[in-house]
Structure 1
Amino acid sequence: MPDDDASRAGGVDPRELWLSQDRPRRGRRPAFSREGIVAAAVELADAEGLEAVTMRRVAARVGAGVMSLYSYAPDKETLLELMIDRVAGELPAGREVTGDWRADLKAVARSQRANMLRHPWLPAALATRRTPGPNTLAFMEHVLAALRPAGLDGAARMEVFAQVTAFVAGHVAHEVAQASAAWTSERLAAEARYLAEVAADGRHPELAAVLASSREPADPDATFTRFLDRLVDGLDAEL
């Protein structure tokens, strides 16, 4: 049986994946648990990125044969679904809602950002539609309950949840990319000189005005809060 992840695309039926016990899908039971295998995959993705997660690498990390992993996850797509739901278990699904949907929604977004910063591969993983597992469903239930006081119907609450999640994922993806870029002080200074020269050519008056009034860059937390406030305030105005 090949161990090339691309050759095993397709996944399993969601009912088999989420409603069955922690047991191998076929054949003799390996001496490893699905939980341990998924934890190893998450650790690998956290350390080296999603591209590093292959069935062979995960098997080596837990000291198993590649064939043993296929008993729990028949392909990388299924393994990724398990990984996403595992880290969703870190979200505060059990927290009581306050009745102030704006405050609760902002708390949801902040918890999502913290979760994605701990697991920088998560924004990219969420870009493809996944079948929600038990941890994801628990968090979804929490968010839908938090949005009930807004007076939205079920479909609209799901849309708001998706909108906020997409905003957080995009913001964190940008944060992670910026942090990993080689933005040395020399490069930043060179960019500032370039923009100053462009602004002075008379052909970009709006850019010149923005640069003239630019403040010191805010810290990442303050920037996220400002963007989130605008998003939630916009939703409030629409409602």
Structure 2
Amino acid sequence: MTRTGTSGRTAGLDPEALWAPAERPRRGRPPAHSRAEITAAAVALADAEGLGAVTMRAVAARIGAGTMSLYSYVPDKETLLELMIDEVAGEHRLPPGPSGDWHADLRHFFREQRALMRRHPWLPAALPAQRTFGPNTLAALEHALAVLAPTGLGAPAALEIFSLLSGFVASHVTHEHAQEAAAGATDRAFHDAQARYLRSAAVTDVCPKAAEALTAPGGTSSPDATFDRLLNRMIDGLTATD
């Protein structure tokens, strides 16, 4: 649970200060770096080496700055992570408004979200730590809630559906990345042995239903088609009303 202080603000993080418009630079020597530059460097580092590689020291080295100087722009790594999440959320291509076909609009929104997470493989792991919504994230949320408006669901239910579908997309992309990594390390002999084992389990009645489900011919489909099929099932189930 997020800790809050006596003022009601999240301890260690002030959303008002974090997302306030940038002040005009004062007279004198201009700052050597900017929060935007630091955020972009952190995103590039995470894209290249993973979220674990993002440290204040590593980001400072990437922009040619001293580690301590970064703290005058970004107070800690947790704040940097918030900035990174909102930065990439700005890549989410949002249409001018809902088309009127909320089901199609919702599919398009979460297809875009999947594409965003595949471009930035660290994003699914970062999202659970997100504690505040920046302007780009809020714009995406606003669009999704506008798309859901014709369903007649109340705001709390629409927000829950948005969260559940976003969680599904993050989980699915994480699985896709893991499968792609495993595919490169798994040889044909393993697949043959796995098939023999499952056939044996089905014949000897050791977990026959599971073995049947895992060996049943289901045809092959592209990753995009698989995602669309699962997404449609999720949308239909979550938006069904009594």
TM-score (structure 2 length as normaliser): 0.87
Report the aligned-residue RMSD: 2.0
Percentage identity across paired residues of the two chains:
57
Structure 2: how far apart are the matches of 1:156 and 1:124? 25
Structure 1: how far apart are the matches of 2:220 and 2:23? 48
Partner residue, 1:87: 88
Structure 1: how far apart are the matches of 2:21 and 2:13? 12
Matched, 1:122 2:123: yes
- Contact 1:91 1:139 survives alignment (8 Å): yes
* C-alpha deviation, 1:192, in angstroms: 2.1
Matched, 1:61 2:62: yes
**Which residue among 222, 226, 230 is the counterpart of 2:225?**
222
Structure 2: how far apart are the matches of 1:35 and 1:86? 9
CA distance 1:47–1:186, shift in 2 (3 Å): farther
CA distance 1:185–1:130, shift in 2 (3 Å): farther
| 222-231 or 210-219: bigger deviation | 210-219
* C-alpha deviation, 1:66, in angstroms: 0.8
CA distance 1:201–1:37, shift in 2 (3 Å): same
* C-alpha deviation, 1:29, in angstroms: 6.3
* C-alpha deviation, 1:235, in angstroms: 2.7
| 217-226 or 117-126: bigger deviation | 217-226
Partner residue, 2:209: 206
The alignment covers a number of residue pairs equal to 227
Matched, 1:196 2:213: no
Structure 1: how far apart are the matches of 2:240 and 2:135? 33
* C-alpha deviation, 1:175, in angstroms: 0.8
Partner residue, 2:164: 163
TM-score (structure 1 length as normaliser): 0.88
Structure 2: how far apart are the matches of 1:23 and 1:84? 24
In structure 2, runs of 5+ residues without a counterpart are: 1-10
1:1-239 pair list within 5 angstroms: 11-21=12-22, 30-181=31-182, 182-238=185-241
Structure 2: how far apart are the matches of 1:43 and 1:129? 19
- Contact 2:110 2:169 survives alignment (8 Å): yes
- Contact 2:201 2:208 survives alignment (8 Å): no
* C-alpha deviation, 1:206, in angstroms: 1.1
Structure 1: how far apart are the matches of 2:88 and 2:101? 26
Question: SS where residue 96 of structure 1 aligns?
Answer: coil
Structure number with higher relative contact order (C-alpha < 8 Å, ≥ 6 residues apart): 1
CA distance 1:135–1:115, shift in 2 (3 Å): same
- Contact 1:41 1:58 survives alignment (8 Å): yes
- Contact 1:97 1:146 survives alignment (8 Å): yes
Structure 2: how far apart are the matches of 1:226 and 1:128? 29
- Per-residue CA deviations over 1:165-194 (Å, capped at 9, x if unaligned) read 011011111111111222333332332222
- Contact 1:11 1:74 survives alignment (8 Å): no
